[in-house]
Structure formats: structure tokens, C-alpha cells
Amino acid sequence: MLIDVPDTALTTFRAMWAELDRIGVHPTGTRRYSWTAEDAALRKWFTAQASARGMEVHTDANGNIRAWWGGRPADGDAGVVTGSHLDSVADGGKWDGPLGVLLGFLAVDALAAAEARGEFVRARPVGVVDYMDEEGTRFGVACLGSKLMSGVLDPEKARALTDADGVSLAEAMRAAGADPDRIGRDDAEITLSGAQVEVHIEQGKQLVGLEAPVGVASAIWPHGRWSFTFDGVADHAGTARLVDRKDAALPFASTVLAARAVAEELDARATFGRFHVEPGGP
Ligand SMILES: [Zn+2]
């Protein structure tokens, strides 16, 4: 069933977007990290949008925040949830995440208007979600909020994660007024998120080539992050003969090339995003 988008949708979109654009936006990109002042401002924006629509906001123990149309359903109900995340990578693109959350609210507007016209009947609870720390920028673990909620990530390990300044997740949560002792698997929230739909900007360029405005995902790339340590021996760059050396950069370089070759062969993806050389003499 197709539902007409209200004529006011574009105006609403622009007004909502203008407010978001004031939070954590720098000339080099967007910086919105979990449990920071920007994160609090984004939650405030989310809550205000929900309140304007008469939606009930519920923040779960893991920091994921949901707005329920018509109030939070009873435990055991299976809702339809749409949304995404409001955090960003370091100097990230501003559409990545917020677009899905914002359009979730606009979808509720469209459904509410259709309901008022008698063209739509709500059979299941509808919610909009913002998942906590989807990008993993601050603590190095992507999908932190949903991994904790689903029980994939051990709460004890999560609490001990630290950011670049050595601040642990537990400390960061406490500083933001949240209780780190309550994080972990949340069966009530899993059940309430009976079905989930996410609108997300395409991060590649395939739709451009297809001249398609929208694509519907039929599968999801599983992804993982690994760290490697290559041991070498520091030596004199100018004088040590190649034959006498044990340069750690060589196995590193061949690993990068090998990963790239395998990724091409399997039509997968491989990225080496961060490397650190010790002692690091030029
Ligand atoms: Zn995203």
C-alpha cells in the first residue's frame, strides 16, 4: 500500500535538518560521539521531535532511544521500528545516520495523516529509534548499543572499553548521567523491535551508475575489525643492508596487498584504516 507524503513534508524536513545542522558540525565534517555534549544535544533534538508528535520516548539501559507512536507498547508486543543512528565517524558525512532517524519521524507524520483520512489502520506499534554509538568512533566497537541490547557484546568487556583519552565507557556513561551497571541484553526491547526498517544513505556509488534514486537491500555485508601486530627489528635506515634487515613494514605491506587481492576475488571489501609504526623514524 502506498501512502501520500503530506505537502508539508519538505518544509518539515528542512526545519528538522536545520536544527540538527547546529550540532557537532565542523568545516571538515561531523563529529558526534557517544556520551558527549553533542550526543546529549542530539538526544534532546530526538526527544523534542517525538514530543511534538505526541510520541512517548523511552531510553533503554544501553542508551538506545526510541519514540513510540501512541505510547510505548506493552512488553511482549512486537512493533515495527524505523530509524538509524545520530552519531558519526570522525569528520563524518552528515547524512549518514540522521537521514534515517529524521525520515522515521516523517514516516510517522505521513502514516498519521493517512490514519486521519481513514486510509491506514495501525495493526502493530510503530516506533522510531536512534541506536547508541552505531559507528564505534569513541570506543572502537561498532554498533555498541545494539550489540549490548542483543547480548552479542559482554557488558563487562563493554564497560572496560576506553576512548583515546583513556576514559572508560563506564566513566563516560556516568558522566552523562547514565548507569553503566545496567547495560546488557534486553529481551523486552528485542521483542518490541519485532521488525526494523532503516533508510540509509548509500555510502558507495552503485545507485548513481544505475540512475536509481533508491535501492532496497536484499542482504547485508557482515563485517569485522581486526588488528595485526608485525614484529621487526629497528635498524639504521641509511646504512643497514637490506639483507641484514627485519623491516616490519614488509609483511605489513604484503598483508595489505593480499587482503586487497582476496577482496577483489570474492567481490568483498577490505580496508586498512589505521597503522602505527614504532619507533617510527623516517
Ligand atoms: Zn550509518
How many angstroms is it from 30 CA to the middle of ligand 1?
A: 12
Helix H segments across the chain? 9-20, 37-52, 98-116, 144-150, 155-160, 169-175, 187-192, 206-210, 249-266
CATH number of 9-210: 3.40.630.10
* Other CB atoms within 10 A of residue 199 CB: 16
Between the CA of 191 and the centroid of ligand 1 the distance, in Å, is 23
Per-residue pLDDT of the chain (282 residues; tens, 9 = 90+): 788 888 999 999 999 999 999 999 999 999 999 999 999 999 999 999 999 999 999 999 999 999 999 999 988 899 999 999 999 999 999 999 999 999 999 999 999 999 999 999 999 999 999 999 999 999 999 999 999 999 999 999 999 999 999 999 999 999 999 999 999 999 999 999 999 999 999 888 889 889 998 999 888 888 888 999 999 999 998 999 999 999 999 999 999 999 999 999 999 999 999 899 888 887
Residue with cell 568512533: 137
Instruction: Give the distance (Å) from ligand 1 centre to CA of residue 144.
Output: 13
Q: How far, in Å, is the centroid of ligand 1 from the Cα of 200?
A: 6
Of 55, 54, 42, nearest to 16 (Cα)?
42
Kindly give the distance from the C-alpha atom of residue 87 to the centroid of ligand 1, in angstroms, as a whole number: 8
CA 64 from centroid of its chain's CA atoms: 11
- DSSP assignment of 59-99 equals E-TTS-EEEEETSPPPTT---EEEEE-----TTB-TTTTHH
Question: What does the domain layout of the chain look like in residue ranges?
Answer: 9-210, 226-282
- Looking at residue 31, its amino acid is R
Q: How far is the CA of 277 from the centre of ligand 1 (A)?
A: 30
Q: How many whole angstroms separate alpha carbon 49 and alpha carbon 67?
A: 9
Cell numbers 566497537 correspond to 141
Rounded Cα–Cα distance for residues 14 and 9 (Å): 9
Give distance in angstroms: CA of 32 to centre of ligand 1. Answer: 12
Q: What's the CA-to-centroid distance between 183 and ligand 1, angstroms?
A: 22
φ, ψ at 30 (rounded to 5°)? -95, 135
What distance lies between CA 257 and its chain's CA centroid? 29
Ion ligand 1 neighbours (CB, 5 A) are 96-97
Dist. CA 64 → ligand 1 center (Å): 15
